[in-house]
């Protein structure tokens, strides 16, 4: 049994009486030490998946179907109190904007100690020692001094390191990172990703990396999910998908990157834009933008089916080979 098992996860939002499905049929397994990437454009539902795993979906949204099992326990039916113990303790989350996680009026140390004391019985002295040690592990210079800094006194890169240190405080089994480096510069992104990979590898922590940047996912994860309009369109080994995508959308995304085009030539663009949840086209949500689309595509939603070593939701996946 995998460490984290997500099955047919579905999230629904009530908007003006109508029910919109923000997420449909997301299933995956995550083993201890695995690294999984979730890729998609804004509005594809990738962050929604992370929030759903942590049971953080709030009104007017709710998990309407499916199950999330962590270490054999079903999370989505846990009472709030129990869920709080899992969250932060066993599963930690890192957000895009460190200022969303860090409270601007408390020192870094106060927030770390508070986090420790919520989940563990620990003395002030021990909490401080442990926090400083974690700050040192994420390569923050002079961690003793930084313990007493306020978040605004730190640079963006240092702040994200602090967030990672807080996420590691309780030795979680899984870290969910939602666009952890999007707000950062490339050199800092490279450092932070390096740090996260290193920490995951040395401690056997599993990582779910949610990002719009396929290049980052291709460098850092073993398996990946590509999402489009709330559904998984392709799922499998990262290397294989990057090398030979089976879904027209994945392929379009990869070919649209400037790296995959001759300098100065016209980029292979995907026409149109992703539909909003309220205006989903019938059948496959991607068909209006797809070069392979025909009547079958507008007629029925393609199921996520096995094709070789991966899962694809496309009627015409064979034609891409």
Partner 1 sequence: MSTLQRVWDSNFAYQFRRDPVAICSALVLLAFVLAALLAPWIAPQNPYDPLQLDLMNSKEPPAFGGQGNPDFPLGTDDQGRDLLSAILYGTGISLLIGIFAVMLQAVIGVSIGLVAGYMGGRVDSFFMRLADIQLSLSTLMVAIIALAVFQAAFGPQRYEDLAIFMLIVVIGIAEWPQYARTVRASVLAEREKEYVDAARVIGLSRARIMFRHILPNALTPILVISTVQVANAIVSEAALSFLGLGMPVTTPSLGSLIRSGFEFIFSGQWWITTFPSVVLIVLILAFNLLGDWLRDALNPKLYKET
Partner 2 sequence: MTEPLVKVQDLQVHFPIQVHFLSREKPVVHALNGVDVEIDRGDAFCLVGESGCGKTTLGRTIMGLVRPTVGEISYDGERISGLRDQALLPYRRRMQMIFQNPYASLNPRMTVQQTLEEPLRFHKSELSDAEVREHTENVMVSVGNDPGWGSRYPHEFSGGQRQRISIARALMVDPEFIVADEPVSALDVSIQAQVLNLLMKVRKERQLTYLFITHDLSVVQHFGTRVAVMYLGTVCEMTTPKTLFATPRHPYSQLLLSAIPKLGRKTFVPVKVPGEVPSPIDLPSGCVFHGRCRFANERCKSQVPELKNYSGAQVACHAVEEDRL
Question: Which region among 16-24, 95-103, 226-234, 263-271 touches partner 1 (by CB under 8 A)?
Answer: 16-24
Q: Are 192 and 139 in contact (CB under 8 A)?
A: no
Q: Does 104 bind partner 2 (CB under 8 A)?
A: no
Name which of residues 206 to 225 contact partner 2 (CB under 8 A): 212-216, 218-220
Question: Which region among 5-13, 109-117, 130-138, 263-271 touches partner 2 (by CB under 8 A)?
Answer: 263-271
Q: Which of 61, 66, 172, 248 binds partner 1 (CB under 8 A)?
A: 61
Q: How far is CA 132 from CA 88, 117, 142, 312, in A?
A: 18, 15, 9, 46
Q: Does 142 bind partner 2 (CB under 8 A)?
A: no
Partner touching 16 among partner 2, partner 1, none, CB below 5 to 8 Å by kind:
partner 1
Joined tokens for residue 288: 């209006």
Name which of residues 251 to 310 contact partner 1 (CB under 8 A): 277
Distance of alpha carbon 286 from the chain centroid = 22
Q: Which of 157, 172, 180, 283 binds partner 2 (CB under 8 A)?
A: 157
Q: Which is nearer to partner 1, 109 or 230 (CB)?
A: 230
Q: How far is the CB of 11 from partner 2 (least distance, A)?
A: 21
Q: How far is the CB of 253 from partner 1 (least distance, A)?
A: 23
Q: Are 46 and 213 in contact (CB under 8 A)?
A: no
Q: How far is the CB of 58 from partner 1 (least distance, A)?
A: 11
Q: How far is the CB of 270 from partner 1 (least distance, A)?
A: 24
Joined tokens for residue 266: 């016209």
Q: Are 8 and 66 in contact (CB under 8 A)?
A: yes
Q: Are 11 and 52 in contact (CB under 8 A)?
A: yes
Q: Which of 267, 278, 291, 303 binds partner 2 (CB under 8 A)?
A: 267
Joined tokens for residue 298: 């507008």
Q: Does 258 bind partner 2 (CB under 8 A)?
A: yes
Distance of alpha carbon 301 from the chain centroid = 25
Whether the CA torsion 205, 196, 28, 33 is positive or negative: it is negative
Residue from 1, 16, 3 nearest 206 by CA: 3
Rounded-to-integer distance, Cα 233 and Cα 284, Å: 10
Number of residues that bind partner 2 (CB under 8 A): 47
Binding site for partner 1 (CB under 8 A): 13, 15-16, 20, 22, 61, 277
């Amino acid at each position: 049994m995998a460490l984290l098992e997500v099955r047919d996860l579905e999230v629904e939002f009530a908007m003006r009486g109508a029910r919109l499905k923000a997420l449909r049929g997301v299933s995956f397994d995550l083993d201890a030490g695995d690294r999984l990437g979730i890729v998609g454009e804004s509005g594809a539902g990738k962050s929604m998946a992370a929030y759903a795993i942590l049971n953080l979906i709030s009104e007017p949204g709710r998990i309407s179907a499916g199950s999330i099992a962590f270490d054999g326990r079903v999370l989505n039916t846990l009472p709030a109190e129990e869920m709080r113990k899992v969250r932060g303790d066993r599963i930690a989350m890192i957000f895009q904007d460190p200022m969303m996680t860090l409270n601007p009026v408390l020192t870094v140390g106060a927030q770390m100690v508070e986090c420790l004391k919520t989940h563990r019985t620990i003395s002030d002295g021990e909490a401080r020692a442990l926090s400083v040690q974690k700050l040192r592990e994420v390569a923050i210079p002079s961690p003793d001094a930084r313990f007493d800094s306020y978040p605004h006194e730190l640079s963006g890169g240092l702040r994200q390191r602090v967030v990672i240190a807080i996420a590691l405080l309780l030795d979680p089994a899984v870290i969910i990172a939602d666009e952890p480096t999007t707000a950062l510069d490339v050199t800092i992104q490279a450092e932070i990703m390096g740090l996260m990979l290193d920490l995951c590898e040395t401690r056997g922590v599993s990582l779910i990396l949610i990002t719009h940047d396929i290049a980052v996912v291709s460098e850092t994860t073993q398996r990946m999910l590509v999402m489009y309009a709330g559904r998984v369109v392709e799922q499998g080994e990262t290397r294989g998908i990057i090398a030979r995508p089976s879904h027209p959308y994945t392929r379009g995304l990869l070919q649209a990157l400037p790296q995959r085009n001759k300098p100065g030539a016209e980029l292979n663009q995907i026409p149109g834009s992703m539909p909003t949840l309220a205006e989903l086209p019938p059948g496959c949500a991607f068909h209006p933008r797809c070069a392979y689309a025909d009547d079958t595509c507008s007629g029925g939603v393609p199921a996520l089916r096995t094709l070789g070593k991966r899962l694809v939701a496309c009627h015409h996946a064979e034609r891409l080979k």
